[in-house]
Amino acid sequence: MQIKQQLDQYFEAHTKDMLADIAKLVSFDSVTAPATETAPFGEGTEKALACALEIAKRDGFTVKNFENYVGTVDYFEDRRDAELGMLAHLDVVAVGDGWTQDPFTCIERDGKIFGRGTADDKGPAMAAYYAMKAVKDLGIPLKKNVRLILGTDEECGSSDIRYYFKKESTPRHVFSPDADFPLINIEKGGLRNDFTAQYPEDTSLPRIRSIQGGHTSNVVPQNAEAVIEGFSTEQTAAYCKQAEDRTGVQFTVSEQDGAVCIHALGKGSHAAMPEGGNNAVTALLDLLCSMPFAKSEGFTKLCAVNKIFPHGDWLGKAAGIAMEDEISHELTISFDIFQYSTTGFTGNFDCRSPICANDENVRDVLIQKFADAGIFMSDKPMNKPHHVKEDDPFVKTLLKCYEDYTGRKGYCMAIGGGTYVHSIEGGVAFGCSMPETENRMHGPDEFAVIEELVVSAKIFAQVIVDLCAE
């Protein structure tokens, strides 16, 4: 019987088992929490990792726990060097608002399983595990080792994996089932730097007392607020109406301690896809810089920031860093955090850069642009892009397995975000969501499509056979 037929029959019999094990993992609140003596990322991640390793021990695999940073599941008892590494994670993002169910109780409905981590990344982790289990249970002989590597800090910086690879060698081939099919071979580089300015306080009216917008460096800010003096609420509202028409951001005006408070409501999105949001901070600066405030050094520098990051310009055109290439596409930049007072301001931006970008044509250009306006920008270097060539034999093997089990055309993709494999030479992201699936990853009522998890497990099993049975 062909391996494909064997796998079809196997998962017809064992899909419920896989879903039950996913539900066990989802039941743990494994959001990163303060470290304990035994848990570097909190008790939740420690418990989730222990559960995953217990599942593997139950099925006869060799497991190892690396001080609750990372756990591994090896096909062979002697833990020989791995030909293939499948790199997944068991930590999850914060729950947030808007759920219609308990996020840590797996619910099956309409061919989907709902719960925090079902898509990112506990469901895919179990799909990779059940690929190993299927090969083992079916008695398909392997000559080379495959290792499932389970991390616990992917969402907060991947310090777990850096710790692990200081102790263990990197498998010859690595993929992470923590993204989309068909295959991601390019992850853009990045630059997340701060800029600051100081100036003497000027009490001339009208003036801006404060601005606050954004909280996270990789999220397009949905909200921003300013407190101003010297304008009435009626005058301010008139300027707000004009800014609304220009930006599409909603402004509300209220009185506050003898001053006027302006609140901007935009649309949040991931900074890797700023075109999907509507930046409340840049819209608020657009509004404020259109108003006739008294001349001051602070207001002049604020207007300079507005010129560098004009509302709606997420390609870096005004900043002088717009660029693109054929395989990794356009540079994007998102102005995500800003705090302004009467004596100084600080800001932070998130730039996702194509392969053609470097410190000289991005970072240094921005440094000079800010310096020309009397604003200091940190010189922290760029995070380099990650690129594996499309004709790499490993890439071809993965795409062939994808095509064989889905009937779809395989191709490579570039993304603005980063995955576990960003710093691993030759590593790629592979699965588990199909291109058309929007699984609410990081949002309320996150889900995974059951059939996609099953197909992923079959694909991964075939990859194991193709790479490790030779």
Q: Is residue 91 annotated as a catalytic residue, yes or no?
A: yes
**DSSP code at position 154:** G
Sequential DSSP letters for 359-393: IIIIIHHHHHHHHHTT-EE--PPPBPPEE--TT-H
Q: How is residue 210 written in tokens?
A: 């404060």
Buried-exposed string 137-176: b where 16+ CB fall within 10 A, e elsewhere: eeebebebbbbbbbbbbbbeebebbebbeeebebbebbbb
Classified as helix, coil or strand, 85 is: strand
Q: Which residue in 328, 435, 331 sits closest to 387, CA to CA?
A: 328
* Backbone phi, psi, residue 191, to 5°: -145, 110
Sequential DSSP letters for 425-436: TT-EE--EE-TT
> Between the CA of residue 45 and those of 34, 53, 92, 440, what are the distances in Å?
11, 12, 9, 22
Given 91, 187, 225, 350, the catalytic residue = 91
> Between the CA of residue 280 and those of 121, 248, 250, 276, 305, what are the distances in Å?
30, 10, 9, 13, 15
Sequential DSSP letters for 291-304: S-PPP-HHHHHHHH
Cα angle value 192/161/274 (rounded, 5°):
30
Given 120, 153, 154, 225, the catalytic residue = 154
243 vs 288: CA distance, rounded Å: 9
Classified as helix, coil or strand, 99 is: coil
Known catalytic residues?
Answer: 91, 154
